[in-house]
Amino acid sequence: MLRYVGLGYRRFGLEPTKSPPRANWEFYAVVSGTIAPILAKDDAPLLKANMLWVFPPGSAHGWTGNKTHRAYITAFHFGMVPPQLEAAVRERDYLVLPLDTVERRRLVAIAKQMRPEILQPTNFSHLMYQGVLVELTLLALRKLPTLEKPLPPSLAKRTVEASTTWFARNLATTPSVAQVAEEMHVSSSTLRRMFSKARKESPVRVFARMRLEASMKLLSETTLKLDEIAAQCGYSCASDFCRAFKTVMKLTPAAWRRNVLSGPGYIRK
């Protein structure tokens, strides 16, 4: 499984390397100094320090570096990697990930430990190879953005329905998205994802429309003053209510109310 371990100083700036397509998966780290992979599509490689590269089989890259300073590297070649890492690498062609001081020291320690196991395998070497592969895989994957798990459609729908019901009952208190999410026992980001999945809209847009619809109901069915309607629908004041209403309806609340009340067939409930 582990087919090669490399460790030590390299002068890639003076002696750049070239390679035919590799047969193995490669974990290549620069522990000190700066290096860069030479890729066919890259005319001017950008030298980097404290980095880990992961390349899949078939990659034909080489390495270059600083012409006046050597670099210290570690390298590990494997015949295969876990499917999670393979999928992440195939999606991006290759990975390039930053390393902190502790991680760089750990890579050097692993390389020093594994070189004798490559040269003179024992009955336990295969298990040690597996352990190293798992450690390197986790090191790489934990540096990638975490993908959120897809939400079950039924859960998203139920939570959105419960959210809008709770919001309607608490319009006057002007609840924020964070407050609604807390009532639903989810995070704000999860609530937004649920609204996007179930309604194809953000909760902010849905809640704003609910306020507007509630105000229209009060305008058409009651004789409440605008400041009273504003308070019941969660607007900070009558002017805030009028501004929000006119932005959507292109009429002031008073003008809209007159039009409705004067319309044919109107019956006050």
pLDDT band at residue 119 under the 50/70/90 scheme:
confident
CA distance 136 to 254: 67
State the Rg of the chain over Cα: 31
177 touches 203 (CB < 8 A): yes
Maximum distance among all Cα pairs of the chain, rounded to whole angstroms: 96
Q: Using the structure block, give the residue that is written with the tokens 């490689």.
A: 45
pLDDT band at residue 91 under the 50/70/90 scheme:
confident
Where are the domain boundaries for CATH 1.10.10.60 in the chain? Answer: 153-261
pLDDT of residue 195: 92
30-85 pLDDT per residue, tens: 999 999 998 876 567 889 999 999 999 988 889 999 999 999 999 999 999 998 89
Could you confirm whether domain 2-141 is CATH 3.40.630.10? no
pLDDT of residue 41: 61
pLDDT band at residue 269 under the 50/70/90 scheme:
very low
Lowest mean pLDDT across 13-17, 25-29, 222-226: 13-17
- CATH for 153-261 is 1.10.10.60
Where are the domain boundaries for CATH 2.60.120.280 in the chain? Answer: 2-141
CA distance 197 to 193: 6
**In this structure, what DSSP letter does residue 69 have?**
S
135-169 pLDDT per residue, tens: 999 999 999 876 555 666 788 889 999 999 999 99
